Amino acid sequence: MDKQSEHARQWIVKARSDLLNADNNLAAKEVPYDTVCFHCQQAAEKLLKGYLVARGCEYPLTHNLFVVLEKILELDATADSLREPLALLNPYSVEVRYPGDAWMPSPEDATEARQAAQEVFDWTRSKLERLFD
């Protein structure tokens, strides 16, 4: 595997760890819903940045998923299908991480975040299948 592909694959491995963290927490007796939502956002961010790396592009240094998406749309218009899941996940990058910020996610929020992250995973996998093995 060439260096670029290996670097992209590392992003995917990290994203999978975030998804595993979310899944493990969702299965726990006491669920930290904010943590689940944060890790779902992180998984999406890493998947999108991994896509850019795989395509030989630099990724923007931001947690804003829409900034990353705009860069991807320059390469692949089908990424527009990710707008809805990214809109759901984008607030979880910062807003749930600190006390006093916006709100505490509910069980339904966490379930929706996990589903949204899966949509990003599935789209990325459909584009970079060889890196997911």
**CB contact set of 81 (below 8 Å; sequence gap of 6+):** 123
What is residue 64's predicted lDDT score, i.e. its pLDDT?
97
Length of the chain: 133
Distance CA 94, CA 34 (A): 11
pLDDT band at 1 (very low <50, low <70, confident <90, very high): confident
Higher pLDDT, 20 or 101: 20
pLDDT value at residue 101:
61
Percent of the chain at pLDDT > 70 equals 95
User: Residue 133: pLDDT band by 50, 70, 90 thresholds?
Assistant: confident
What local confidence, expressed as pLDDT, does residue 18 receive? 98
Contact 39/110 with Cβ under 8 angstroms?
no
* Cβ proximity of 63 and 44 under 8 Å: no
pLDDT-based confidence at residue 102 (cuts at 50, 70, 90): low
The yes-or-no verdict on residue 103 having pLDDT over 90 is no
User: pTM of the full predicted structure?
Assistant: 0.95
